[in-house]
Each structure stands twice: as structure tokens, then as C-alpha cells.
Amino acid sequence: MERYVEFEHIDKRFVGVHALQDISFRANGGEVLALLGENGAGKSTLLKIMSGAQYPDSGKTVLNGKEIVFHTTQDAINAGVSIIYQERQLIRDLTVTENVFMDFLPRKRFGIVDFAKAHAETQKIIDEFGIPIRSADLVGALSVAHQQMVEIMKAYRRNSQVIAFDEPTASLADAEIEVLFGVIERLRSEGKVILYVSHRLKELFQITDRIVILKDGKFVRALETKDATESELIRLMVGRDLGDIYNNLDRNAEKGEVVLDVRHLVSKKVRDVSFQLRKGEVLGFSGLVGAGRSEIMRAIFGADPIESGEIFVEGKPVNIKSPRDAINSGIGLCPEDRKEEGLVLERTIRENTTIPILKMISDHGIINTARERGIAKGSIDDYNIKTHSMEKIVIELSGGNQQKVILGRWMSAKLKVLILDEPTKGIDVGAKSEIYQMVCNLAKQGLGIIFISSELPEVLNISDHIVVIAGGKISGILARGEATEEKVLALAMREHTREERN
């Protein structure tokens, strides 16, 4: 029997927003269908309706000829629909088997769990996927990529007919993406219906067969991937021509003296790393996820203890034992995980902006409200944070605007070095190009910028030099002119095979 999902005139309103307007399209079994659109285009709402978390106001969803109505997420799972979310829904302290069989552990008599059977079946799936993990491994000990695989195995084990991926590669490096794509290919060949949501256009050309473009809750077009071009897709989803994001950047040409000098840094997962950063320079850090990029930065920033090595800021040795020490030495960090590590989500933009500079906005420990409001307003204006008030709670902002709040936080901190760890993760194209320009502007002001990114085109085009990390070490430094995706990948994989065997 041929499998398909068909959306017919789906309509959904929230207060003040028409989130989905008369959406109709069909996804066939045996093809990977991309859902493309900027944030707010309606992709998430559509996924939520598919998962049973939201209910459409009108319209129907048809699965293999039968209309399906989901009132709960369990209904959707029972009907064979699985959504693989960006945030993994796994229990870290349980084994792979327990996670894969979370909702249905096989039982023996008297309700006793048949672990032997569960492990055997899980290991079978793992082997089919061809991933070097064991069924008894704790999920918390696995790499992010492998955790993602466990999530997919869960859907696979349920024999889901429809599997939707929501930004599956957001936290994966290129080599890991290959593994993921292998698995998706396999699911496709089994005739499953696969929906694929991603902001990374390059991937769509690699893995998808057709692309459905949504904009402002409306269906724009469906086109065959092989007939599409990148610029056409951008034009269709943005509704305007962004041009070449990278070529139009107003870059900084003036490089100054060395502002950050790291010598023989050793810490947990970091082995003897040395590099120099100049004023006005954007230094890209590339490498596979787990290669130690973030760990190097955490050590420099005082978030992880340094075992040995020296750090010099403007030629003077600094002794950094905590983030506060780093900030006082003129180093700022925008962490990788905005929500978990960057923002105090339930507090306002104003309060989130001034955390590192509370001393500056206070007299004898008492906060000067006028000064604080002035700084918050300045950062909202300078960083183009879209909000009607600085008293807005940051959880209400979009990802792009949340990232700008974190960038804006460092505006008044008199920094010399700013470390950006995956600053564009999960952010739509428009906000991305804004952030690129902000990075260039900061470099123009004489800051040294460290730019970590798993997205190769981005790191290649933004950075003046690219440091490639593999296995906690620097495996090469390339200038922008000479760096290509192939060269960077080759360096990044240099120690990868050895690492995995350990």
C-alpha cells in the first residue's frame, strides 16, 4: 500500500495571528519533503498539529486515505506519526534500550520487563543503523549526534509511517550529518513519509526530493529540489532578494595588535592549544561537534578550570579563575545554548542586558535605574532588537532577538575580546545576516572576535582566519582566501577516526 500524508485546507488562528491559512499539500511515502520558511512562517505550528499538540480550526489531515484526528500526542504516536524535535526528548540517566522502548518495554509474565528481548531488539536497530554504540550505554554519555540517532530509533521502533525532523542538524557537525542522512535515506527507501525542516539550504539539496515553501502561514510553492536554486528558495521564503549575504558584508580591513594570546592551554578535553587573536580580527573556529571548540573557550573564559598554559590580554598575563575574572580582563562570551546558558528566560530584556555590568550601573551597590534604562535602550537600538518595550520577558522573543539581547549585553562591558559560540544556531536567514553584520561592526570597533560555528559556509565567509580543531588540538589554521570546505573538513577529521576507536 502506498503511504502518504495529505493536508487539506488546514487553518489555525491564535490570538492576533493567523498562523496557518488554508494550507494544502501532500507528502508521499518514499520521498523526503522539506518544509522551508522563515521563523513564524508556520512550520512549527504545522508540526504541532501533526504531533497532536495543537488542533486545527478547520481543514483535515489524511493519512493513507483515512482522515486522522489527534487530540493528544499519544494519538499521533499510535497513528504512526513521530516528530523528532530539535530538543531531544530523552532521559539521560537511562540506557539506549530504555529510551528506545520508553513507552513500550516488552514484558514477560506478571508484568516483568523482558530486558533481554528489549536489548536484543535495540541492538538490532543500532546495527541496522550502523552506529558505534551499545544498547546498554547510558544516553547521557553519548555524543549529541548519537543521542539524536536514539531519538530516531525510538520512532523507527514504533514503526512510524510518518517521521518529521525539526532542525535535526542544528547541533551536528558535518561528518555527523552524513550519518544522519544515511539513516534518513534508509527510512526513505523503506517507503516512509519524511518531512524535513531546516534552515540550512545546502542540506535540502543533499537530502530532500521536494520542497514546500511557507511564508507568513501561507503556502507559497512546492517545487522539485533538483529544479530549485538556492537564491530562488531564499527569494521565495523571504519574499525579497537578500543577495549574497556574505558578499554584501561591510567587513573590517584594519587588523591591529595581538589582543589575545593563548599559549599551551590544557584543560579537560583541551590539549596544548596555542593561538593569537588580533584587534579587529574575526577568528573562526571550526571542527566536529565534540572536538573541543567550546571547551577551549570555556577554559579561556574561566568557566572550566585550566590545568596548565598561559593567557595574555594585550600582552599582559592574566590569571582567569572564573567568568568574572575573564570579564574583568575584557573577555566576553555568548554561549552556545542561548536558553540554557545565555539568558534568564523569565526576566526582562533590561535585566538580561545588564547582568555583567551591574557594577557600572550602580552607585554603592544601589542600581541607578535611569542609567540602567539608558543602557538597555541603547542596546535595543544598536542591535535592532524587535520589541515594544525593554520590560518584555526574553522568553517571549524569537531566537534571533534573544541572540541579539546576549550580544547587546556585552556592548557596554568595555570588552577587548568577544567569543561567540554558535551565534546563529536555529536562527532564520534574515536574522543571521543581521548578526553577521553586527560581528563585522564589532570588529571595526577594534574588538577581537572568536566565532565558533558548525556551519561551514558561515565560518568560511565570516572569519579572517579559521582555526580547525580536532580531538582537543589545533589541526590547522587557514586564511579566508585559502580555506575551502574540503580543506577544513579534512583537517577536522584528521583525528576523528582515532578518537572514535578510543
Confirm or reject binding of residue 105 to another protein (CB under 8 A).
Answer: no
CB 140 within 8 A of CB 93: yes
Closest to another protein by CB, 19 vs 460, is 19
Nearer to another protein, 342 or 471 (CB): 342
Nearer to another protein, 5 or 36 (CB): 36
DSSP code for 499: H
- How far is Cα 407 from Cα 319, in angstroms, rounded to an integer? 25
Q: Is there binding between residue 55 and another protein (CB under 8 A)? A: no
Name the residue nearer to another protein (CB basis): 211 or 431: 431
Q: Choose which of 107, 124, 359, 498 interacts with another protein (CB under 8 A).
A: 359
**Position 342 contacts another protein (CB under 8 A):** yes
Cβ-based nearer residue to another protein, 26 or 235: 235
Q: Give the separation between CA 462 and CA 465, rounded to whole angstroms.
A: 9
Cell 530516531, located at residue: 152
Report helix angle 429-444 to 230-238, nearest 10.
100
Q: How far is the CB of 346 from another protein (least distance, A)?
A: 5
Which residue in 86, 123, 398, 441 binds another protein (CB under 8 A)?
398
Candidate segments 139-147, 220-228, 396-404, 453-461, binder of another protein by CB under 8 A: 396-404
Q: For residue 165, how far is the Cα from the chain centroid?
A: 13
Helix (H, G, I), strand (E, B) or coil at 14: strand
179 vs 429 by CB, closer to another protein: 429
Element (H, E) at 221: strand 218-224
Considering only residues 253-312, where is the footprint of another protein by CB under 8 A? 301, 303
Among the listed residues 3, 146, 188, 409, the single contact to another protein using CB under 8 A: 409
Q: Coil, strand or helix: which one is 350?
A: helix
Q: How many beta carbons lie within 10 A of that of residue 124, not counting itself?
A: 12
Taking each helix axis from N to C terminus, what angle separates 115-129 and 144-157, rounded to the nearest 10 degrees?
110
Site string for another protein, 202-221 (x = CB under 8 A): -------------xxx----
Asked if 188 contacts 32 with a C-beta cutoff of 8 angstroms, the reply is yes
| Contacting range for another protein; rule: CB under 8 A; set: 40-48, 72-80, 271-279, 305-313 | 40-48
Nearer to another protein by Cβ, of 215 and 278: the residue is 215
| Residue in 185, 358, 374, 381 binding another protein, rule: CB under 8 A | 358
The answer to the question of residue 346 lying near another protein (CB under 8 A) is: yes
Strand partners, 212: 35, 222
Nearest-approach distance from CB 369 to another protein, in angstroms: 8
Residue with smaller CB distance to another protein, 280 or 356: 356
Q: Are 249 and 437 in contact (CB under 8 A)?
A: yes
Record the cell numbers describing residue 6, joined without a space: 495529505
If one asks whether residue 395 binds another protein (CB under 8 A), the answer comes out as yes
* Alpha carbon separation from 112 to 105, 109, 117, 228, 293 (Å, rounded): 9, 6, 12, 54, 45
CB of 343 to another protein, least distance (A): 6
131 or 406: whose CB is closer to another protein?
406
308/368 with CB nearer another protein: 368
CB 31 within 8 A of CB 207: no
324 forms part of the interface with another protein (CB under 8 A)? yes
Find, among 403, 399, 428, the residue nearest to 216 by Cα: 428
Q: How far is the CB of 150 from another protein (least distance, A)?
A: 24
Return the residue of 24, 206, 322, 484 that touches another protein, per CB under 8 A: 322
Q: Is 423 a residue that touches another protein (CB under 8 A)?
A: no
Residue 351 is placed in which grid cell? 535585566
Name the residue among 149, 156, 137 with its Cα closest to residue 94: 137
* Site size with another protein, rule: CB under 8 A: 51
Of positions 397, 470, 474, 492, contacts another protein by CB under 8 A? 397
Site string for another protein, 3-22 (x = CB under 8 A): -----------xxxx-x---
Label each residue of 32-95 as H, E or C: EEEEECCCCCCHHHHHHHHHCCCCCCEEEEEECCEEECCCCHHHHHHCCEEEECCCCCCCCCCE
Q: Judged by CB, which is closer to another protein: 194, or 394?
A: 394
Coil vs helix vs strand at 494? coil
Q: Is 45 near another protein (CB under 8 A)?
A: yes
451 near another protein (CB under 8 A):
no
* 390 forms part of the interface with another protein (CB under 8 A): no
Angle at 9 between CA 160 and CA 38, to 5 degrees: 75
Residue 313: phi and psi, rounded to 5, are -115, 120
Cell numbers representing residue 149 in the block:
540517532
Residues lying near another protein in the complex (CB under 8 A) are found at 14-17, 19, 38-41, 45, 215-217, 301, 303, 322-324, 327, 333, 335, 340-347, 351, 355-356, 358-359, 362, 365-367, 369, 386, 393, 395-398, 400-401, 409, 428, 430-431
